[in-house]
Structure formats: structure tokens, C-alpha cells
Structure 1
């Protein structure tokens, strides 16, 4: 920090303020500009591509400087925030005309990525969350809020991984820690997730009135993290936060849980292809008509339900909406006319609402009676009752705005033309004086033209010279110098005033000034009256958003011929008839989508899926997961019939992806994600494993894949879809009773591979790798060479098998081996078990005598496992 003694009083003031905000860019108000100095100026000039100048240009130590006009500063601030920076707004807090010495300046707001209130820079259908994390003993207290909507929630989490999962699912923009706590964890989050990290404290807690925001939180042990978050918001925003809703306590276990890998692999909100919304489940489901409905839909997608009763309630309402097409059409038309009530309420509390916002609020409230009428006309079931109770038109606010605010007011709240005539007597007097005064000026212009004979004489106005009479140079000689007083000389004209014009000007300008001031005062008063009803507006917003989500479900369910799912209570059985991948089906449009059954009934827990690449194995796996998510959101699902359990978690291990930042190879990422599933999955979870083990050597991968299948089958008991190219694994159904083989059909026609995209019972006969490579367009010469090599390898394997068979016939073997010579692998293992003694010497002898080279890798692993069990 530069030494203050070397600087002017103004720069000393700047440096003193900057000391309090060292980690933010300080926008320091100077007249009509916000200026930045020193390192702030250098960095911001580069980021925003501004011209970098300097203050004290003739001094030895010049001060780097850049600035932006205050009236256009918002877009520059928005850019800095989007890039993860923080900005402090420093304003003049006293009238320069009344100031003695330096004009007093203070920071009036600190804007950070998690505290943005300018809704033009925030996606209308996305929340903008800031979270606080506080470690207490061996657990993490976790709270988050969206300052634009007032939503405030709190919970407790057990591990760093759970914190990361919650941060990712909520798309948190900024995370707050207590000063000097969890530094390593902070850095890890910054590096891995790119989240902006901030620090706060619990100092001066006794000075803050936070009780009303914590009253609904019965667990007082959660209070500290709420205090940390709320104090930070108060210290940065420095204004009313009346729109913040009382904290709502929640448990992550009350929702279907999936991690970032599942969110990514299933493409729930972001497409793997281009990172956009298109091609995702959210893209499919989002037929909402309001911004708040869009945000709620995203929340439902991130946290599907596990309460059967709540799910059924949503499905009941969706069913009613499907059955009443015309009423639903009226409903969607009405919703289209409703603005973002949540964020309007937030701007009211924040003091940034303008007259146009209030008109939007009024127009939205006027639609609520229509909603009530439409719902009642459907003879809706009792599930609608709670929603109808919350449909509050807040009539007194709609009436107040209607009486007070012009239908098309200006954006500015200080330039008048906002309040209707008849709302306030004194204002009407001012407006009458202004209207009559301007009429008088128009009459004066006509009168002066007649007196002077100057036909193009005109009376105008500007803020510097006030009202004036303008005469062209060619007509100046017609002006009576005794009555006309020169005010301004232009190139082609002269401007004058007269005593009577001055007198009227004073009356008009006084009326205009007082009128504008009174209109602003009245607008602020109206805003305060609206503020008293914020809680009612927020309740209304929630129920409108919920209705919007449910009509969206009804629309897509009817459009794409979805069915209502049935839920098991006695078992975890799954039965989908003619199931489809909802997003792929929509993308295909006119093309025929091949549906498939998913049958995990009658004691089947694991489907082992084989078949060629590109044939649809991954699509089949993903469509089950998306169907589960849709069902537990309360939406109909893409199938002809659906019977499902209610799952607690979904785990996916799909696709090849490394983690360069974390220093993990593709295979390490694969194993880490697999371990996460094995550690946290329960018998009520859904597991999707695609090509486990392909990131390492063949035998290693095969051994791991088999061991994982066994572990899931024997220890976890979760419903599992496991796709693989290791055909040797298909024999597992002989000893794992809850495993079933299925494969994707494919045929070769005239040397060309044709995918049937149909799931069939049993294992696939081959992988068709060369044929798939041909479909991908690899050169014909390369494909031909690959086919030759494949034939050679297959012939070599066949010859090796024959040679070993001849060798075994010509070489006498001990009885234990002679008996196995013509036996199957299972019979060999059985004979080994019957004939071996429980001594180490006999096991070693049996291993030495066995025909290892005559076994496939999987058979060899099974044999080794059998011998090891004997030793145990």
C-alpha cells in the first residue's frame, strides 16, 4: 500500500477506504465516473480493455488510473463478477455543494459472484447461490441462499466429499469459510470446482438481529453456520435483507442422491457434446412458462424425492392436467403473463425496484384469480387443496399500484412521469403548474413572433441556460434590445430572455423540481408498503412455480406418450416395458426409436450386458437412470409400462475421462468413481457400470471387473447394469444366481454390420470391433489388415489349444489330472475340490499338476480362487 503522506487529501481518503477492502476492486466515485487506482487500475484496465492513464503525470511517482462512466458502470461490474472477481462500490454520501473540505465517501455495497442482485446478469431460470461451510468437530455445517429470491436453507454433512457434491449439485457461485479455517479444503475447492472462496467471521454477532431468520430451525447446533452466512451478507450488502426467508432445515438423505459423475454422465443439465442445455434431461423437461417455474424445475431435477406420498401427489396433479387439455391450455396462457415474483420481491426489499417492476408485479397479481378459476373448473382432486390455499392475489398491493403508477412509466425513478394524476393532491398542483406554464410558454412564442415579425422565432430549454428565445442571425436586427436580454451566442443564432420569461421559468422549474422530488418520495413510500407483503408474495411465487412445473410435466407426458409409473413397496423389482431414452427419442424426431424392456424381477439384481460398441448399451443403461429420476420427480416416464422401486442413490461409471488438475489418470478416475459407488451404495441404490477395467491390462481389467460384480452381487445387493467387452465374464451367471446375461442384437449382412438396438437374452457371440471401426470410416486398407491380424490371432489361439490337447494326451498325468482331461471347467474344479487334501503340500502339488495353459484367463482365476479357499 502506498504511503499516504505523499498524496493529496482525496488520494489519502481513497487509500484509507481501500485498506478496508484489500481483496476487491474499489470503484471510487469522482463526479460522473468511477475511478480505480494503483494495482486495481492496472488489472481492471487489462481485464476490461480500458485505457490506462495516470494521475499526477508530472510527479515522480505517477498513479495508475482508469475509470468508467457511472451511468454505464453496471455492465463493466457484471463482467468482473462473471469472471469471479469482487467489486466494492464507493459513493459520495453527502452533497458536494454542502460539503466542507473533502466530500465524504463510503462503500455502499460489495458485489461478489454469490451476492449479485442485478437480475439482468443472472440467468432467469437459474438460481445464484452463495454457501457457507463451517467445520464443527468431525462434521460440516452447510447453509446456502439465493439473494435474488430470498431462499435460505441449512443442513449438516459428514465428509468433504458430501460438501463437494452439494456444492456441485447446487451450482454454488461462492463459498464462505470462517477466517483461517480449512485452508487446504478451500484451495482444493478453488482448484477442482473453480468456486470463488471468501472468508467471514462471527464477530459482533450480538449486534445483529438474526433470530427471525433462525426461528424455523429447531436444531440450534446449526445456528453458527447461519450466523456466518448472514453476517457476511449484511456486511457486504449494507441494506435491508427483509426478503430473506426463515432458514429451512433439510436432510440430503430425504432426496435421491447422485454425485457429479452421475450428473455429468447422464447429461442432466449440461450436454457432454457442447456444454449447453440442449440435449439434456432439463432441456426435455423444461416447458415451464415462468422464470421461477424454471428454477424450481432445476431444483426438482437436482433433488428428486424419495417420499412415495409426495411423489404420488405430484403424479395425481399431472394426471388431472393431462385429462383436462383445454383447461391446461388456459393455465399455460395465464402463466405466460406472470413475471418473476420472487426476484421482484427481492428487488423491493433491496430498494432497487423501479416503477416498471411495480407494473409487472401488478399485472402478475391480476392473473392469480384466473389461475384459481381454471383450477376449480377442473374439479381437481384434494392434492390441489394446499396449492389453492397459497394462491393469494395480494389484492391490496395490486390495487395500490393500479391507483398510483402510470401504465408505462420511465425506467428512471428520479425524473418524474411515474405517479398518476389524482393519486396525490400536492403533486397534482405541481403538475398543473407545469402544464399551464408550458402552455403559457407556447402562447408566448406565438405572441413574440407576432410582435417581432420573426416567423422562425422559437422558445427552447436546456439544463444549463433554462428557457430562452432563439432568433437566427438574419433576424437579429428585428429584436428590441431594451426588452430582450442576450443569454448565449451561437454560430447561426442568438438566444435571449425577457423579464416575464424569467419569472415564468422560475415557477415552472420550481414546480418540476418539487414534482420530481415528490414523485420519488411517493414511489419509495409505495415500495415500503409492498415490502410489508413480501412473505405473501414469496409464498405465492412458490405455488405458481410448482403449478408451472407440474403443467410442464403434463405437457411432455402427453406430447411424448409417457405413462404413470407404479412404485413397489415390498421389493426392489424393476419392470419397464418398451422403455425409451427420453432425450434421444426427442432428438431423433421422425426416426423410429427402438424401445427395450428392463427386467430386474424374480431375484435378478445384475444385468450383464454385452454387445458391440455403438449398438446402444450405454443408451440402455442411461435410459433406466433417467426414467428413475423422472419418476421420483413426479413425472410420467417414457415406457409402455413402468414398475419401479424408490431408489436412495444413483451411481454411474460411464465413459473415459482423466483428471489433469487432480493428477489422476483415466484408470484412476475410473477406480475412484467405482470405489465411491461400492463404499456408499445400499441395496436400494441403482448402479450403472460401463466397461469397468478397460483402462488397464486385459487380465488386470478382467479380474477387477469380475471381483466388482461379485462384490455388488454378494455384499451390496443393489440393482446393477454392468456392460462389458470381456465375454469371459458371461459364465458368471452359472455361479451368481442373481446375475442375468443380456446382449444387444447385431447381424452381419454382406460384410456390413447392422445394429438391431434390441436387447436380447443371453451373451453376445462376439465384439465386432473391426466392423465398428469400418463403420467409423477407417481406411479400407487398415480395416483389411486388421481383419488379417484378427484371423491370425484366432488361428494361433486355436492351434495352441489343439497342441496343448495333444500334449496332454501323450504325457501321462497324475490321476487327479487324468480324470479332468476330458471334463468341463466346472467339472475340473469339482474334481479338484473332491480329491485335494486340506494340506499345503497337496494344494501345491495340485497346482503344479494342473493344465493351466489349457484354461482361459477367467477359468484360471476361478481355479486360483478355489485353491486359495482350500488353503484358508
Structure 2
């Protein structure tokens, strides 16, 4: 393609496309994101869009399709779910103020493992990006959920252990070094089995000094402080994950504030095949929740709780003390039915703290997101009040761990109106009385409506046109509309602005003056409201660790209540934990089959297993 013949805009488009060859490029032009050439052909096929053409300075028109900018999230989600990456190039300056070509640049890249839009996420499960680093000494495996900030890392000795981690985390995307791709691992199997994409990163990402610097600067701590000293495999995989997130998000990721190293020996190891056969969280054939252990146990009320319960099931505890602590909490909740149900109702109105925080830190949260955050904070004092009476150590830990953050609640309540718009740019966000200058603009805007009403009444009386109306049009501004029936009565000082089928639109010197005053105040008010909204949003973002800690304990409480509810309704007993290599079950009932069988026909069975004899008694 002879680029020298292209139009300036198309030349800029192709320069941007060169930087993101593995992505579909959404290129902002006015109120649309446009795609060109092969990207347009691909997107039109996947999204069922009409493929058109655009003059680009060459003999042939460039294939083109487009979507409205305000609907971009849903289209991006469809493309990402189909396995594509999408680079979004935004206008970086106001077209009205631009001299020549409007400056554009890619503001983020959306991939299966870095999605943050609600449309692309299942609120009941994490969306993990997994980073794998391989060398002759083994594998480093890191998993991060960009939407919640959860970040975990470990090391594996061989491919089987890596597959077990894949089964444990079910990532949407893998990034890895070149050595992993040629290590003998069956990447085609991984893609098909786990429905993911694999991206090979440049070797420069894995340089020792650069990796260490990136981690220490991001977490504001030394390697020892984040638990990665002398853990080179985990360190390099974690740094690669963080580097990829920076490259795609092009934004602050302050909510990724902690990284936790874990050993697989901390949990029961359930390999890939066993997890599938047990149907713990999805059935083998239909990939559905119904008919699984999760389906039986999930009575959670919050999205955070649902995600944590899934992890409980996929990563069973093996530490006796931790198991007993969980049992003690569930038993006490079972014996306090009324208090448990009260807390469950409170939890029902708690939104997804983790993902709300992610949007706040990414600066994509809208006014209604802040209202949801406020509503969630509102319930925390009531939840803690109910928890005060419980004695189980784990429930006491939950009580101590929940931070009510009422100063944040009060700030949002003072600042944001009860029913704000979705957009943070259109005004109508800030409460009257919160900011003196904003109040003055609001007063001018309110007076402006009365000024227009008075003008309309005066003009009706002056002209004798009873149907005369003062209207607003986004293109032409304020105007006086007169139907054709009365246009002969129009005064000579009326200036025609627009001709319609059944009417004419005019302006006057007085109306022009009012328009300048009203629209000037409104424009300044919208800008000030946006700035005040950003101040509130950024203040919340400064409390990342407090919010994440509270979110963890709210989720834990939700899980414990859910398990307690199921234990009560199903008449489950508390098993005794022994370390004698023996399982002895009397009148055991399969939790899933019992629920699937109709009319209570399930027959309880005894089961005995031990490690001393090569037999099983059922």
C-alpha cells in the first residue's frame, strides 16, 4: 500500500495500527469508533455490522465499519469473548480547538484477561490473567484479576503442576516467555480445554533488574517486603503480568496493591481431571452450575462472596486449625438463626466493593457507581452491630476486619445527588450546598429557565401569537418557534435561524444575550461538577487497602452465612476432623445427588476408608 497517497487521517490511522498489529483498532472519529481495512472486515463479520467504504486518498475506498462510541463496551466485549484483542484510540483533544488533524492515541487495550467492563465479566467468578515464566529450574506462575486487584504467585516443578494451577484459576488469558512456548507443553490443549488465548511476551520483559524495579516501585516495598526474595521464578512471572497490565491499561492500577506468594501445599491439590470428574463448580457435559457442589452450597448475597465461595470449593483447606475455625463460625451462625438472617438481608444490599474499587481506581466509575459504593458503606455499621455478639474467633476477626469508613459515606452523601445521571460529563451530579461556586452556577441556570419563560410570555403578548414557543436545539441553541399559520405576524426584529416543514425558528438580540448567559453558566457548571466528582472519586481511591480489607471480610462473612444456611436447611452435621488416615461416615448423603433426586428418594449410606487396608466399604 502506497501510504504517501493516503489522506492525512488515514496515514495517522495506519501509523497507530502498526503499533498494535495483533489488535483490532477502534479509531474514534466524532461520535463513532471506526475500523478500516482487515479490521473492518473482521469486526463486521463478528459483530454483524454493515461493511461500507471510506475515501482514503487512493483509487479504491478503504473497507470500513463503525459503532457509536457510547455503545463501545458491549461491542468490545463481544470481540474479546470471540478471542480478539481491541485497541481503543481516542481523541486526545477537543476537535473544536484542534488546529488541523485531531490528535488521537490509544488509551487502553482490552484483552480476555484484562477486561474491566461489567458486560464482559461474570460477577460470580474471577477473571484471571495468568503469567507463566519457564526456565530449566521450573515454572513461575502468577495470577491476577485486573477487575478486583487480587494478585497471587507461586512456583511449579513441572507441567502437571502448571496444569493444576490452570484448573484452579481458570484464566481467560496467559502471557508467557518464549521458552515456555518451546518447553514441550501442549499449548493447543491448553487453549481448547480452558478456552483461553496465549500471548508470548518479549524477552526484555524478563530482565532481572527491570523486573525487580517494576515490582518494588509498584508495591512500594522491597522484594523481601512482598515475599519474593529468593523466589526468582515467581518474581519474573509476577513482573511480566504487571508489565502486561501497564501496557494494556495505560492507567493507574493502584487497586492492585498486594501480591501474595502461596505454596500449593497450603491447599488440597485437586488435579485437572479430578476437578472435572467431581463436577465441583461446573458439570462435565453442559458446563452448567446446576448439578454441582457449588450449586448446592451457594446461598451468597454478594458478588465478592460468590467468588470467594468458589475458591473455597476449588481450593479446600488442609490445615486442621483453619478447618476447625471455619466450623466453629458456621456452627455459631447455625445457632443464631435470626441474627444470621438479619446480616444476610444487610448483605443483600451490598454491591461489589472489589470491582467498584477497580473502576474508581481506573477512573472509569460513573456517578451511579459512587452511589452504589455509598449504599454498600451504609450497611456496614448494621452488619458490625450484629457481629458484636458472636464469640467464634473467625467471626470476631470479621468484626474487627470490617472498616465502616463512615467519613467516605458522609463525603459521598454530601456531594452526590440521590439520582445522578450515568455520565459524569452532563451535570446534575453535585448536591446544592456542597460547593459555593457550583451553587452560584446552579442559581444562574435556574433563573435562566424563568428568564426564558418570561420572554416567551412577553413575546406572545407583543406579537399576538398564542402558540409561540421558546425552544432549545443542540445544534441551533435557543430559538423562538412560530408555526406557518402565524408567520405573517412575526415582527421585523426576528432573525430567521431555521425553516421546518410546518414552522419557522427565529432569534432576537435579547434571546441571543440570554442564551450566552444561560449556556455559559451551564457549561461552567458541568465542568465544575465534573471536577468535583473527580475529587470525590480520587479521595475514595486513596483508601484502596482499607476498602480491600473490608471487602475481604464482607465476602468471608457472606460465605460463612451461606454455608450455615445450607447446613441448617439440609440438616448437615459437623464432621470430626482426625489425622489418623481414616474416614468413617454414617448415613452419608451425597449433597448434589440428594438435591437432584425428586420426592426425597435418596437412601443414605455408610462409608469407611482407611490407609491401612486396600479396600473401601460402602
Shared fold, TM over 0.5: yes
Match of 1:155 in 2: 154
| Per-residue Cα deviation, 1:247-275 (whole angstroms, up to 9, x for no partner) | 10001111011112211111111123522
Partner of 1:356: 368
1:212 and 2:223 aligned: no
Residue 406 (structure 1) aligns with: 417
Paired with 2:279 and 2:85, the residues of 1 have a C-alpha distance of 31
Which SS does the other structure have where 1:412 is aligned?
A: coil
Equivalent residue for 2:601?
Answer: 592
Displacement of 1:339 in angstroms is 0.5
Does 2:500 correspond to 1:500?
Answer: no
CA separation of 1:272/1:187 partners in 2, compared to 1, >3 Å: closer, same or farther? closer
Asked if structure 1 preserves the Cα contact closer than 8 Å seen for 2:32 and 2:66, the reply is yes
Equivalent pair of 2:483/2:503 in contact (CA under 8 Å): yes
Q: Name the CA shift for 1:192/1:269 in 2 (closer, same or farther; >3 Å).
A: closer
In structure 2, the residue matched to 1:456 is: 467
Shift of 1:353: 0.6
Separation (CA, whole Å) in 1 of partners of 2:17 and 2:281:
40
Which residue of 2 is the match for residue 841 of structure 1? none
Asked if the contact 1:390/1:540 (under 8 Å) is kept, the reply is yes
Deviations, residues 457-497 of structure 1 (Å, cap 9, x unaligned): 1111011111111111111222221x322222222112122
* Structure 2 counterpart SS, 1:210: helix
Partner of 2:538: 528
Match of 1:382 in 2: 393
Q: Does the 8 Å contact 2:325/2:392 carry over to 1? A: no
Q: Cα 1:360–1:58, aligned 2, differ >3 Å: closer, same or farther?
A: closer
| Pairing partner for 2:408 from 390, 397, 414 | 397
**More deviation in 52-61 or 330-339?**
52-61
Counterpart residue number, 2:87: 88
User: 8 Å contact 2:146–2:256 — kept in the other structure?
Assistant: yes
Tell me which of 247, 271, 283 is aligned to 1:271.
283
Q: Partners of 2:401 and 2:614 in 1: how far apart?
A: 44
Is 1:200 aligned with 2:211? no
**What displacement does 1:603 show?**
4.0
| Change in 2 beyond 3 A, CA 1:272/1:29 | same
SS across alignment from 2:599 = coil
Equivalents in 1 of 2:311, 2:447: separation in Å? Answer: 57
Using structure 1 for the length normalisation, give the TM-score.
0.67
Indicate the residue corresponding to 2:355 in structure 1.
Answer: 343
CA contact (8 A) 2:85 2:112 kept: yes
Evaluate the alpha carbon distance shift between residue 58 and residue 392 of structure 1 in structure 2; reply closer, same or farther with a 3 A threshold.
closer
- Residue in 1 that maps onto 2:615: 606
User: For residues 402 and 137 of structure 2, what CA distance do their matches in structure 1 show?
Assistant: 43
Deviation at 1:33, TM superposition (A): 1.6
8 Å CA contact 1:416, 1:516 repeated in 2:
yes
| 2:33 and 2:69 in contact (8 A); partners too | yes
Distance 1:281 1:99 in 2: 59
Structure 2 equivalent of residue 72 of structure 1:
71
Distance 1:136 1:180 in 2: 7
Match of 1:546 in 2: 556
Counterpart residue number, 2:13: 14
> Is the CA contact 2:219–2:257 (under 8 Å) kept in the aligned structure 1?
no
2:303 touches 2:351 (CA, 8 Å); kept in 1? yes
Q: Residues 158-213 of structure 1: CA distance to partner in whole angstroms, max 9, x if unpaired?
A: 11111112112211100001246424534453355432001224449387433437
TM superposition shift of 1:601? 5.2
Give the unaligned 5+ runs of structure 2. none
Distance 1:274 1:192, change over 3 A: closer
Residue 311 of structure 1 is matched in structure 2 by: 323
Match of 1:428 among 412, 424, 439: 439
Alpha carbons of structure 1 residues 602 and 52: separation in structure 2 relative to 1, 3 Å: closer
Cα distance in 1, alignment partners of residues 170 and 446 from structure 2: 54
TM-score by length of 2: 0.94
Cα distance in 1 for partners of 2:51, 2:76 equals 17
Aligned with 1:367: secondary structure?
helix
Change (3 A) 1:253 1:119: same
On the 8 A contact 2:5/2:57 being kept in 1, the answer is no
Distance across 2 between alignment mates of 1:446 and 1:158: 83
Point out 4+ residue stretches in structure 1 off by more than 4 angstroms.
none
Decide whether the 8 Å contact of 1:212 with 1:246 is kept in 2.
no
Q: 1:267, 1:281 within 8 Å by CA — same for their partners in 2?
A: yes
- CA distance in 2: counterparts of 1:23 and 1:238, whole angstroms: 17
Which string of whole-angstrom CA distances, capped at 9 and with x for unpartnered residues, describes residues 347-392 of structure 1?
Answer: 1100011111111111111111111111113x42333222111110
Larger RCO of the pair (alpha carbons < 8 Å, separation 6+): 2
1:366 match: secondary structure? helix
The answer to whether residue 480 in structure 2 is matched with residue 469 in structure 1 is: yes
Cα distance in 2 between the residues matched to 1:280 and 1:174: 25
Q: 1:396 to 1:192 in 2, by over 3 A?
A: same
Deviates more, 1:588-597 or 1:340-349: 588-597
Q: Could you give the per-residue CA deviations for residues 95-134 of structure 1, whole angstroms, max 9, x where no partner exists? A: 2233333222111101000000102321111100001000
CA displacement at 1:573 relative to structure 2: 1.1
Partner deviation per Cα, 1:433-469 (whole Å, 9 max, x = no partner): 0001111111221222222222211111011111111
Correspondence 1:460-859 to 2 at 5 A: 460-481=471-492, 483-569=493-579, 571-600=580-609, 603-607=612-616
Deviations 1:48-98 (A, max 9, x none): 121222233895444222222212222111101111110000112122233
CA contact (8 A) 2:133 2:140 kept: yes
In structure 1, what is the Cα distance between the partners aligned to 2:79 and 2:41?
A: 14
Find the residue that maps to 1:27 and give its secondary structure.
strand
SS class of match (1:590): helix
The answer on whether the counterparts of 1:282 and 1:298 sit within 8 Å (CA) in structure 2 is: yes
The match for 2:235 is 223
Q: Which moved more, 1:103-112 or 1:513-522?
A: 103-112
| Count of residues in correspondence between the two structures | 605
State how far apart, in whole Å, the 1-side matches of 2:56 and 2:14 are: 19
TM-aligned CA distance change 1:442 to 1:179, over 3 Å: farther
Cα deviations by residue, 1:729-755 (Å, 9 ceiling, x for unpaired): xxxxxxxxxxxxx6xxxxxxxxxxxxx
Query: Equivalent residue for 1:736?
Result: none
Q: Match for residue 175 of structure 2?
A: 176
RMSD of aligned residue pairs (Cα, Å)? 1.8
Contact 2:170 2:194 in 1 (8 A): no
Cα deviation digits, residues 192-245 of structure 1 (max 9, x gap) = 543200122444938743343753224342321111110111011100000002
Partner of 1:635: none
Change (3 A) 1:42 1:442: same
